[in-house]
Amino acid sequence: MARVFWVVGLSITPAMFLGSIILCIAALITHRHLNLTGWAFLLIGIYAVKFTFERLRAAIKYGDPTKDLGSPS
């Protein structure tokens, strides 16, 4: 059951970050520039999508990714 929660939770996160990346790219196209905050938001969003996608793949393949962080089972 914990595996299902991890997969569902980690599936929502990349979708939200992808939406913010699309908005930043749309602003870049329409305004032909981004300020420092826009560039930072765009780069952090790209990194966050990559990171959460890798965690999602691990959760699907191996189960709960925090299983080794708690007390031994």
Query: For the segment 2-42, what is each residue's pLDDT rounded down to a tens digit?
Result: 677 777 877 888 889 999 999 989 988 999 888 998 899 99
E strand or H helix that includes residue 6:
helix 2-31
Q: Which has more pLDDT, 5 or 50?
A: 50
Cβ–Cβ under 8 Å, residues 49 and 21: yes
Residue at 32: amino acid letter: R
| Per-residue pLDDT at 59 | 75
> What is the rounded CA–CA span in Å between residue 36 and residue 51?
22
| Per-residue pLDDT at 56 | 80
Judge whether residue 70 has pLDDT over 60: no
Domain boundaries, the chain: 2-62
